[in-house]
Amino acid sequence: MYQTTYHRASSVDEAAALFAKGSEAKFLAGGQTLLPVMKQRLASPSDVIDLGKIKELIGIEVSGDTLTVKAATPHYDVATSDAVKKAIPALAYLASLIGDPAVRYRGTIGGSIANNDPAADYPAALLALGATVKTNKRSIAAEDFFKGLFTTALEDGEIITSVSFPVPQKAGYAKMPHPASRFALTAVFVAQTKSGEIRVAATGASQSGVMRVPAIEAALKTSWSPSAIDGVTISASNLLSDIHGTSEYRANLIKVMAQRAVAAAG
Ligand SMILES: Cc1cc2nc3c(=O)[nH]c(=O)nc-3n(C[C@H](O)[C@H](O)[C@H](O)COP(=O)(O)OP(=O)(O)OC[C@H]3O[C@@H](n4cnc5c(N)ncnc54)[C@H](O)[C@@H]3O)c2cc1C
């Protein structure tokens, strides 16, 4: 047994202050990762600071060409939001594929990207759409936020407050889910930005977590169509290999998922 003190913060500033007071504090959002980790004794925080009821951390806004999802917004809200469906339908679709209904009701975008599981869905959308992660201290481009397996640019005690997505011209997502957990065995998000840049990101595939796929970006620049990817070869080196799929299988999945994502984007 170990002792943990639970705190329900009512503002971001209060949460940051509580964190600073704890000897080994942890923020709690949906608890879909942190609670299992605590049950397994892989984490034993002195203080658990609940962000889930902080009003300024919940909600979805569209302003001009930017869609903002606040950090403690559950996946279910993103999946069912009319604003998200209109601005970036692929993002709503992505959220609808996360886990099961219980996970979608509790899990949040902030918790998902702070955790940066190499098979999580949101990191692919952030990287492909060129999103910006806002924290209580600064703004971090998605490119600089994801630092490898379960590692991000967040400093100790830094709180994600929201994620801002530039609305693209087109975007699509396709995922081969693990049949039990629904995490991505491999999934690909493709986007064509309003300025015409093509960005492709794959999750579930790389040993270093979410990654851009330059070979597919180059092919799609020539022609935005699934068949443009036919001739692309994805190297299996540095891809994950486990009982669920070899690195060669994942290399092929990157290509197939990218083709499906482009078809979905239209
Ligand atoms: C059965 C199951 C299936 C799942 N399937 C999928 C899937 O298919 N795809 C997928 O992408 N994910 C999947 N998940 C993960 C799920 O999406 C959760 O989003 C994810 O576990 C973390 O979100 P959370 O809000 O529950 O965070 P928590 O578990 O509460 O926290 C996770 C970590 O993030 C930190 N944190 C939380 N919020 C913030 C914040 N605002 N600022 C800074 N740090 C913060 C916490 O301190 C903790 O370290 C699955 C989970 C389960 C249990």
Confidence of residue 55 (pLDDT cuts 50, 70, 90): very high
User: By alpha-carbon position, which residue is closest to atom 36 of ligand 1?
Assistant: 111
Instruction: Establish whether residue 27 lines the binding site of ligand 1, counting it when its CB lies within 6 angstroms of any ligand atom.
Output: yes
Is the per-residue pLDDT at 252 higher than 90? yes
pLDDT at 95 over 90: yes
What is d(CA 122, CA 201) in angstroms, rounded to the nearest whole number?
11
At 28, the pLDDT band (50, 70, 90 cuts) reads very high
Question: Atom 34 of ligand 1 has which residue's CA nearest to it?
Answer: 111
Here the tokens at position 137 are 């201290």
Q: Look at residue 1 and tell me whether its pLDDT is greater than 80.
A: no
Distance 170 CA to ligand 1 centre (A): 27
pLDDT at 133 over 90: yes
- The pLDDT value recorded for residue 122 is 98
Maximum alpha-carbon separation in the chain? 60
Classify 3 as helix, strand or coil.
coil
What letter would DSSP give residue 229? Answer: G
CA of 30 to the centre of ligand 1 (A): 6
| Tens digit of each residue's pLDDT (9 = 90 or more) over 201-249 | 999 999 999 999 999 999 999 999 999 999 999 999 999 999 999 999 9
The answer to whether residues 57 and 72 touch, using CB atoms and an 8 Å cutoff, is yes
Q: What is the pLDDT of residue 260?
A: 98
pTM for this model (two decimals): 0.97
Angle 63-66-68 (CA atoms, 0-180°, nearest 5)? 85
Q: Which residue has the higher pLDDT, 182 or 1?
A: 182
Indicate the SS3 state at residue 29: coil
Share of the chain above pLDDT 90, in %: 97
Residue 37 has pLDDT above 70, yes or no: yes
| Parallel, antiparallel or unpaired: strands 198-203 and 47-50 | unpaired
Domains located in the chain, CATH noted:
5-50 (3.30.43.10), 57-166 (3.30.465.10), 170-265 (3.30.390.50)
- Tens digit of each residue's pLDDT (9 = 90 or more) over 162-208: 999 999 999 999 999 999 999 999 999 999 999 999 999 999 999 99
* Sheet (strand 25-28) strand order: 5-8, 47-50, 25-28
Q: What would the mean pLDDT of 11-15 be, rounded to a whole number?
A: 98
CA 170 → CA 127, 186, 197, distances in Å?
15, 21, 11
Please list the alpha-helical segments (H only) found in the chain.
Answer: 12-21, 34-39, 75-80, 82-87, 89-96, 101-106, 109-115, 122-129, 142-145, 214-222, 247-265
**Index of the ligand 1 atom closest to the CA of residue 161:** 41
How many helical (H) and strand (E) elements, i.e. helices and strands, does the chain have? 11, 14
What's the pLDDT score for residue 2?
A: 80
Residues shown for the chain: 266
Helix ranges (H only) for 198-246 are: 214-222
